[in-house]
Amino acid sequence: MPQTYDLILRHGTVVTPNGRERADIAVRDGRIAVIGDLGSAAAAEEMDLRGLTILPGVIDTQVHFREPGLEHKEDLASGTAGAAQGGVVAIFEMPNTKPSTTTADAINDKLARARGRAWVDHAFFIGASADNIPRLAEWERLPGCAGIKIFMGSSTGSLLVADDETLAAVLAQGSRRVAVHCEDEGRLTERKHLADEAGHPRAHDHWRDVETALMASKRLVALAEKAHRRVHILHVTTAEEMAFLANHKDLATVETTPQHLTLAAPECYERLGAYAQMNPPIRGIHHRDALWAAISNGVVDVLGSDHAPHTREEKDKPYPQSPSGMTGVQTLVPIMLDHVKQGRLTLERLVDLTSAGPARIYNIAGKGRIAVGYDADFTVVDMKAERTITNDWIESRCGWTPFDGKRVTGWPVATIVRGRAVMRDGQLLGNPLGEPIRFQESL
């Protein structure tokens, strides 16, 4: 008697741990049941993916969805809708939102807000501060918590951890990998006058210069070595940091972003103004080339979008009053598929950076690869599709992308989360079904 499944994906090219292969995939109870030739097997639903490529579900481990419940701001509903439209099956949200996520109650509130509103699976970071250090080891193991996030610079209110004494105290609490924004706050303060005097975003990477980032990364690694604590350095932007971090891979993993791999100063600031403004900054071609070299030689472990939307009204303020941040969760997949098309990295390397890498770094349970027993998370892409990214396509309430008008080859055509299609051919399907991500260290 033929086996019956909930879903069968047929005739696609599947990227498994063995590489690319033509295979069918059967799903039962939200997990992958069989990979192979399924012949006459039956399912409640079947999808013919002939000519398409099935990737492990893409995981974006750095997004900021801002304030909940305000029409002109991002929230979990609009932010995760953008993720689903862009082929992203799961997101980690950062804590510098309003209200900020710095307590167990805040994590639980976020999880409650996400229920029935989030289109994709999700986890939330706890923001470290001088006030909550004694509870971090307990809170980092809460269900739905991605771990601890430290802002060494450029944060809001009490989330700033600028001095070595407080930073060391944070690293001494808990055992999970800590995610860190590395910019030296003292140097930022000393150099702020450069931004004020320039009055244009073209000064952004001069104010927040290479030394600002490198100083912080070196301080962090030295303290992490003393504490024997694993750290993850977010959105690395400089050649100097990549060279330094290559010698500290025992404790430090590394992220960069599609924006830093694609845009370059000064051209982006002249063309986009404050819409190219983010922290750490977009830098010159020399640094962009170094990021690509770090992709090639394996120093970079993961890509995160650092999705941080602001309204046009906010972005149009005079620099440096204009806020830093840009959309990215929805464009991560098409931008990077276009880089694959241009020969800058292989599709297998992209999978490692966006699926296997996040699972490995954060010990995600059941996600990150197409393998029997894993969650049935799939990012289905058309490698040959030519599309133009436009502001109109963006689900974020801010309604813009720095890549407006960019022509790309490669496009997400379906997003499948635990065996249910939440996006197909540009249309969101059914109701939001996202659930908290599970972690091996807190099962």
CATH number at 420 reads 2.30.40.10
Residue 396 falls within a domain, yes or no?
A: no
Residue 130 falls within a domain, yes or no?
A: yes
Do the bridges between strand 407-417 and strand 4-16 make them parallel or antiparallel, or are there none, so unpaired? unpaired
Same domain, yes or no: 24 and 98: no
Question: Do the beta carbons of residue 237 and residue 324 sit within 8 Å?
Answer: no
Same domain, yes or no: 50 and 63: no
Same domain, yes or no: 119 and 257: yes
Task: Please choose, from the candidates 39, 38, 35, the residue with its C-alpha nearest in 3D space to the C-alpha of residue 17.
Answer: 35
Q: Cα separations (Å) of 343 from 51, 348, 417?
A: 20, 12, 29
Residue 368 falls within a domain, yes or no?
A: no
Question: Do the beta carbons of residue 201 and residue 269 sit within 8 Å?
Answer: yes
User: Pick from 306, 330, 362: which residue ends a domain?
Assistant: 362
Among candidate residues 121, 205, 209, 306, the one labeled active-site is 306
Per-residue pLDDT of the chain (443 residues; tens, 9 = 90+): 467 899 999 999 999 999 999 999 999 999 999 999 999 899 999 999 999 999 999 999 999 997 554 555 678 999 999 999 999 999 999 997 666 789 999 999 999 999 999 999 999 999 999 999 999 999 999 999 999 999 999 765 568 999 999 999 999 999 999 999 999 999 999 999 999 999 999 999 999 999 999 999 999 999 999 999 999 999 999 999 999 999 999 999 999 999 999 999 999 999 999 999 999 999 999 999 999 999 999 999 999 999 999 999 999 999 999 999 999 999 999 999 999 999 999 999 999 999 999 999 999 999 999 999 999 999 999 999 999 999 999 999 999 999 999 999 999 999 999 999 999 999 999 999 999 999 999 88
Residue 328 falls within a domain, yes or no?
A: yes
Same domain, yes or no: 26 and 150: no
Supply the pLDDT for residue 156.
Answer: 52
CATH number of the domain bearing residue 143? 3.20.20.140
Q: Please give the Cα distance from 179 to 254 (Å, whole number).
A: 10
Supply the pLDDT for residue 1.
Answer: 44
Same domain, yes or no: 351 and 215: yes
Quick: pLDDT tens for 200-257: 999 999 999 999 999 999 999 999 999 999 999 999 999 999 999 999 999 999 999 9
DSSP string, 180-224: EE---HHHHHHHHHHHHHH-SGGGHHHHT-HHHHHHHHHHHHHHH
The one-letter amino acid code at 392 reads D
Has this prediction a pTM greater than 0.75? yes
Same domain, yes or no: 213 and 317: yes
Q: Please give the Cα distance from 269 to 307 (Å, whole number).
A: 18
Residue 439 falls within a domain, yes or no?
A: no
- Give the total number of structural domains in the chain: 2
Supply the pLDDT for residue 70.
Answer: 52
Same domain, yes or no: 265 and 379: no
Same domain, yes or no: 162 and 206: yes
* Region for 343 from its dihedrals, namely left if φ exceeds 0, alpha if ψ lies in -120 to 50, beta otherwise: left
Same domain, yes or no: 160 and 12: no
Strand partners, 181: 151
Burial class of residue 49 in the structure, from the number of CB atoms within 10 Å of its CB (0-12 exposed, 13-18 middle, 19+ buried): buried
Instruction: Please give the residue range of the domain that contains residue 96.
Output: 58-362
Residue 442 falls within a domain, yes or no?
A: no
Same domain, yes or no: 181 and 220: yes
Q: Cα separations (Å) of 432 from 128, 178, 425?
A: 30, 29, 17
Residue 394 falls within a domain, yes or no?
A: no
Q: Please give the Cα distance from 324 to 319 (Å, whole number).
A: 10
Q: Please give the Cα distance from 231 to 223 (Å, whole number).
A: 10
Same domain, yes or no: 420 and 290: no
Residue 181 falls within a domain, yes or no?
A: yes
Q: What 3-state DSSP class applies to 111?
A: helix
Same domain, yes or no: 195 and 297: yes
> Is 306 designated active site?
yes
